[in-house]
Amino acid sequence: MIKTIEWIGEADGHLRLLDQTALPTETVFLDCETPEQVYAAIQRLSVRGAPAIGVSAAYGVLTGLREAKSQDRAAFDAALDKVCTYLAESRPTAVNLFWALDRMRRVAGEQTGAEPLAVRNRLLEEARAIEIEDREMCAAMGRFGAELINQGDGVLTHCNTGALATAGDGTALAVIFAAHEAGKGIHVYADETRPLLQGARLTAWELQQRGVPSTLICDSMAAWVMKEGRVQAVITGSDRIAANGDAANKIGTYGLSVLAKAHNIPFYVAAPSSTFDMTLESGDSIPIEQRKSIEITNGFGKQTAPDNCQTYNPAFDVAPAENITALITEKGVIQPVTTENVKKVLGSAVNSSTSETASDSGASERNESNQKTEDAKETTEGKTTNGKNIGPLLLACQRNTFWQANGDQLTSTAITILGAPIILALMVSGLCASVFGLEKPLYNNPIAWTINGVVFVSFWVVFWMIAKRQFARNLLHLHEHGIQYNGLKIAFDEIRELRIRHFETVFHRILPSLMKISDKYHRRVANEAKQTSATLYLSSNRVVVMKHVLRIFNREHLVRVFGTIKERLHKAHSDRD
């Protein structure tokens, strides 16, 4: 069996990943030697599946500590925190990602007084332990789940939940493999899983590799094969499960749970205990990743939709607990699915809201961020904004947080930039008039006008440079505090050195894949905006346009304030390198 995740070497080694985007026609391996490469592999789905993402992130931490072995402990801890924060931004929904990173942070924090090299070696041991534990959890889930599958059952599965998604045999596919190896004579129906076809490209491939009888179907065929009596059980994986048992998984899972319930077919979800997020009361609080339009508008190597076609592309949906027959974990089967039974079966194994270290606060911060986002949406409901004042502000952070945190500073900066040079120019011109005895009234004197102009421009340049530096500090402040909007972050560190007067040029240099934002395009977007909408969506790029922020600055003062979906920032960063 091909190994999908492998650490090569010792603590200063590198991570080797099977590039799942090349399957099933090619077998390509990626050697990741930097956090940026690991981040990119997770984000572009070269490695996918919540458990596999967690294992990859744990090893990815080590790639960011290569140069830290000769540093003092304080610098090492800072480097560790930086790489963990960075990797946490790669995918917002998979809780295993945050669980693995928090675990690496906690282990490092326990090494009080240890040298950086010793801590790195301990972190490698922990990453390997996470991988081994995942392998063992897959085997346990397979054993528990196989008992729920009857002889000769037709089993429908969604997306890919096998060895490609974990360090072992998988989650849902581990159950299928165990039932097959037990001689139960099952037949698997794998739906293709649009838009990225993980079922067709990956699951069908894995089933063939293991010799499991299977049939590939389109997503839209699921209801019909159920009606025909071909399916006796549905089993999927999950990327995050709330305390009440609501399970987030690849888009289409909710629909399958509804169909299974309508046809009286048991619907099972297989996931390790690390996938449970007990800080979330229900699936309503699970952040849903929004992906690129091109995944829908382009397929099979060509464009399959008209230009400028508006799209909606959530990567996940949530199957409610009432539609789930049982949750299959390495600790046992949770049935019926209730908050009490989840706590009873999993006990202390689940991700609780109580942090053991300061670094474990990531989950609560994410939940707080999500709640603030919802609050922001509610407070703006019913408000209208003149399209001319919206401006093409592309900030992937909380809509209100930016203004609340920086509004006073930006307002005073604007007043200073515009007002102070005028006042100083008048004062200097008045002084010159007294010294040189210029004729009055001064507004009719060309010499006074010349002095005013020179002084105004000079002071304007000086104050603009001061304000620019202050604004850059505000941006850096936002970056360091990790402000989020819908799981997206601004990578301010990518553009820290840039100058405000060059925003438009830089914007297109680092984001070549985005459509150039022209005045005409801006007007078209503004005209299409719903008056009661909390956000606007640029139809061709799925970029969130934030409202109500450019009330002080017009488009000439802050031309095209940067920010966009983080995977495109990283892609541009990689291209620059």
Active site amino acids: 239
- Quote the tokens at residue 456: 């105004």
C-alpha closest to that of 547 among 574, 566, 527, 529: 529
3-state secondary structure 184-233: CCCEEEEECCCCCCHHHHHHHHHHHHHCCCEEEECHHHHHHHHHCCCCCE
Report d(CA 303, CA 469) in Å as an integer: 44
**Residue 413 CA to chain centroid, in angstroms?**
33
Known binder of ligand: residue 91?
yes
Q: Buried (b) or exposed (e) across 106-122, using 16+ Cβ within 10 A?
A: bbbbebeeeebeebbbb
Farthest-apart Cα atoms in the chain, separation: 107
In 3-state terms, what secondary structure has residue 131?
A: helix
Known binder of ligand: residue 366?
no
Q: Are strands 302-303 and 298-299 parallel, antiparallel or unpaired?
A: antiparallel
- Quote the tokens at residue 384: 């209208």
Contact between residue 473 and residue 481 where contact means Cβ atoms under 8 Å apart: no
Burial class (CB in 10 A: 0-12, 13-18, 19+), 501: exposed
Report d(CA 248, CA 238) in Å as an integer: 6
Residue bearing tokens 């719903």: 530
Q: Kindly list the distances between the CA atom of residue 157 and the CA atoms of 53, 161, 327, 337, in Å, as whole numbers in the listed order.
A: 20, 9, 15, 20
Q: What are phi and psi of 230, to 5 degrees?
A: -80, -20
Q: What letter would DSSP give residue 538?
A: E
Radius of gyration of the chain (CA): 28
Known binder of ligand: residue 250?
yes
Known binder of ligand: residue 48?
yes
Cβ neighbours for 189, distance < 8 A, ≥ 6 positions apart: 154, 155, 156, 157, 214, 215, 217, 222, 225, 230, 231
Q: What are phi and psi of 247, to 5 degrees?
A: -120, 120
Report d(CA 66, CA 128) in Å as an integer: 17
Report d(CA 208, CA 2) in Å as an integer: 13
3-state secondary structure 304-324: CCCCCCCCCCECEEEECHHHC
**Residue 313 CA to chain centroid, in angstroms?**
14
Report d(CA 236, CA 135) in Å as an integer: 18
Length of the chain as a residue count: 577
Q: Are strands 5-8 and 14-18 parallel, antiparallel or unpaired?
A: antiparallel
Report d(CA 149, CA 186) in Å as an integer: 8
Known binder of ligand: residue 49?
yes
Known binder of ligand: residue 198?
yes
C-alpha closest to that of 124 among 39, 7, 30, 5: 7
Known binder of ligand: residue 50?
yes
Residues in the annotated binding site for substrate: 48-50, 91, 198, 249-250
Residues in the annotated binding site: 48-50, 91, 198, 249-250
